[in-house]
Copies of this chain bind each other. A is one copy, B any other.
Amino acid sequence: MKIRMKDIAKMANVSEAAVSLVLNDKPSRISEKKKNEIKAIAKELNYMPNIAAQSLAKNASQTIGVVIPDIENPFFSKLCKQLEEQFRARGYLTIIVNSNDDFAVEKNLIQMLLNRGVDGLIIALSNESFAYKKEQEQFLKMIDRPFVLVDRQVAFAGVNQVYFDSLAGGRLSTEYLLENGHRDIAFLTGDLELPGTLERIKGYKQALDSYGIAIKEDYIIETGYRFANGIEKAKELFRLKPITAVITSNDMVAFGVLKQAVTNGYTIPNDLSIIGYDRLEIADLLGISLATVEQNSSELTEEAVSLLTKMLTKEAEQTTKQILTPTLFKGESVKKIK
């Protein structure tokens, strides 16, 4: 049974207004004794104020919706946790929804969050939405509350975004391999529909160019983001190419390549150098020192939370695009050759 103010009023033999004044610590002419009695009853009954009613009164529900594509991916689950903590510190509750990388689900979920009156949104778009670019843009521009896109960038203007510089990320890892003597470098890219993927490929090509190395288009293989994708594409790769190094779309895929490499009898990094993306903690934990492009997720969440909060309090009027710089963690999965 949910306890309401009127239940407490009845038990304390006072008006509901009196209970409200006391429980909200408002000044009143109610005696200290009665005040204590009311508070004791509220405590005894485990009374909890109705947040919806409070937010109606304040005209703010104090809730943020977080839309992410894959809750099981450690990069995103960490992001959720950080967002929840940072919004809580600013007095907001966080609702998380998982689009499962499905655009139709994503639209439904966002619509539901809007209907339920969230104050604002943090959105990491589904991969699938990038296959429907016009609809994606239309949909986002229809959202009538403040929102910030994180991690997966869009190419059009007019929306707030915080993301990492993918071109720099692609260049960093390629350059590091080049410095270590590698010339046959495969790239298991992410989804080719994503602007971020295209940027990373651009970075990869720029780096090769700067070393005067011809780009082999068959070294660039579109891959997903999961462990199984890494295994699958590694099989393909090892059959066909005389490569000495691989760059992957993320660490999960790098782990898949690693696993398949071991299955094929390769030792890492002696037979194959690998560079991932994300710097997932689990790699460190398990003693696998994977070279990887690190995107500091706290930096991302802090910027996004700060930006959205400003929008909610009307401090930020113009749309902004914040591009963060990734760094390279060198690990031990790259071997110097020649």
Binding site for B on A (CB under 8 A): 1-3, 46, 48, 50-53, 63, 70-72, 74, 77-78, 80-81, 84-85, 88, 93-98, 100, 105, 107-109, 111-112, 114-117, 135, 138-139, 141-142, 144, 227, 255-256, 258-259, 262, 281-283, 285-288
Residues of B within 8 A of A138 (CB): 46
Given A51-B115, A96-B95: A71 and B63 interface contact (C-beta under 8 Å): no
Q: Main SS of the interface on chain A?
A: helix
- The answer to whether A111 touches B71, judged by C-beta atoms less than 8 angstroms apart, is no
- The answer to whether A116 touches B52, judged by C-beta atoms less than 8 angstroms apart, is yes
* Copies, count: 2
13 of the cross-chain contacts (CB-CB < 8 Å) are A51-B108, A71-B96, A72-B77, A72-B81, A74-B77, A81-B100, A84-B97, A84-B98, A95-B97, A96-B97, A258-B287, A259-B287, A286-B286
**Partner among B78, B84, B112 whose Cβ is within 8 Å of the Cβ of A63:** B112
Residues of B within 8 A of A111 (CB): 48, 50-51
- Residue of chain B at shortest CB distance from A283: B286
- The answer to whether B78 touches A72, judged by C-beta atoms less than 8 angstroms apart, is yes
